[in-house]
Amino acid sequence: MAFLLRCLKGRPEMKNIRDLSLEELEEELVALGEKKYRAKQVYAWLFKGVNSFDEMTDLSKELIQKLKDHFIIECLFLDSFQQSKDGTIKYLFRLLDGHKIESVLMKYKFGYSACISNQIGCKMGCNFCASAGIGFVRSLTAGEIVSQILKIQECSGEKISNVVFMGIGEPFDNYDNVMKAIRFINDPKGLNIGARHISVSTCGLIDGIEKFSNENIQCNLCISLHSSKDDVRSSMMPINKKYAIDEVIGACKKYIEKTNRRVTFEYALVDGVNDSREDALHLVKLLHGMLCHVNLIPVNKIKNGKYEKSSVEKMMAFRDLLNEKGIVATIRRELGSDIAAACGQLVMDNQGEKKKD
């Protein structure tokens, strides 16, 4: 019922006010006959996480009415959630058009981290990732992307201090909206999260890496590598047939040269596929001399998935060999795997606790 009412309230022809930058909001409000500074007030309320214009208590009734007549606030609807033994919470959010996305809250020593989605589904087809199995529906807007953080904060009561674009979707296949969302997250008048606390993970879309090199923002770039050999990587990630490893590494080298920032390579260790001593040495050769870090991830099991994770001993041996050869490598702590909230396990529906409408 509540959902139907929301749909009626949110007429599709109306703009989601959360999609507008401060400058765009200023333009819109001036066009509606308002003073420019009003936009700052509205913008500040949006990032306090309000769900309705009525909560903007320092605005006049007339302005609130004008806002209601012209905009909606797409603030996501909590459909269900699941909490892991380790405290990780996976949220299933429903968008105004009825589609669903998953986002994850993780607790680390340094604070709370949000893992957010940027598309409904994914086109990339990596065969070890559950998000690939759900097909592609559409990209999220900047407002929808950032609303996940606001909603997680509202649901959990915790302040997010770290954001990773490692949920559903390929960020560089939705480049402009992701960049706009990053600016909202980073903006001192927005969510005010430092760029160094924002990480973007890509399967290796070269044009995206090139554009990202020129953004002049100190976010972390993570590359899903998973193998240093083209035949193995192509068998796991179809995108490798378009952009082979050498091209991806070349783009990363240019990124490092331009930004002087360290690149993180993600490497999901799969038993018998990419986890041998020879694989480690091959990887060392590939990354030799680069300002980088390797994040080893035990591959997570997905429904109908053919891959098994490497043994702990093999993972440690792989890590130790990289470190010994001068490539900094760590094994990523597995969070939320008991509730399918870990890397590559996000889909668009879960069996969580239902939120009452």
Return the active site residues: 102, 343
The CB-of-201 to ligand SAH minimum distance in angstroms stands at 4
Contacts with 170 (C-beta within 8 Å, 6 or more apart), sequence order: 118, 119, 122, 123, 124, 202, 203, 205
Could you tell me the strand order of the sheet in which 263-269 lies? 329-331, 292-298, 263-269, 220-224, 198-202, 160-165, 111-115, 100-108, 89-94, 77-83, 353-354
Host H or E run for residue 39: helix 37-48
For the record, the structure tokens of 44 come out as 């500040």
Contact 143, 18 (CB under 8 A): yes
Tokens 């990887």 belong to 283
Sign of CA dihedral 283, 284, 286, 289: positive
List, as one string, the DSSP characters of 112-177.
Answer: EEEE---EEE-SS--TT-GGGGG-EEEEPPHHHHHHHHHHHHHHH---EEEEEE-SSS-GGGSHHH
Q: Which residue is nearest to ligand SAH (CB)?
A: 344
- Amino acid letter, 318: F
Q: Which is nearer to ligand SAH, 150 or 269 (CB)?
A: 269
Task: Provide DSSP, 190-252.
Answer: TT---GGGEEEEES--HHHHHHHHTS---PEEEEE---SSHHHHHHH-GGGGTS-HHHHHHHH
- Of 120, 143, 2, 138, the C-alpha closest to 74 is 143
Tell me how far, at minimum, the Cβ of 214 lies from ligand SAH, in Å. 20
Q: Which is nearer to ligand SAH, 2 or 312 (CB)?
A: 312
C-beta closer to ligand SAH: residue 22 or 302 = 302
Our CB check for ligand SAH shows the closer of 50 and 263 to be: 263
Radius of gyration of the chain (CA): 21
Structure token digits, residue 190? 């927005």
Shortest Å distance, C-beta 50 to ligand SAH: 30
C-alpha–C-alpha distance, residues 83 and 86, integer Å: 8
- Residue 98 or 135: which CB sits closer to ligand SAH? 135
Interior angle at CA 198, CA 132 and CA 316, nearest 5: 70
In whole angstroms, the minimum distance from the beta carbon of 170 to ligand SAH comes to 4
Q: At its nearest, how many Å lie between ligand SAH and the CB of residue 199?
A: 10
Minimum distance, C-beta of residue 224 to ligand SAH, in the bound complex (Å): 4
Q: Which residues bind ligand SAH (CB under 6 A)?
A: 124, 126, 128-129, 166, 170, 201-203, 224, 266, 268, 297, 299-300, 302, 343-344
146 phi, psi to nearest 5 deg: -75, -25
- Give the nearest distance from C-beta 347 to ligand SAH in angstroms: 11
Select 10 or 305, whichever has its Cβ closest to ligand SAH: 305
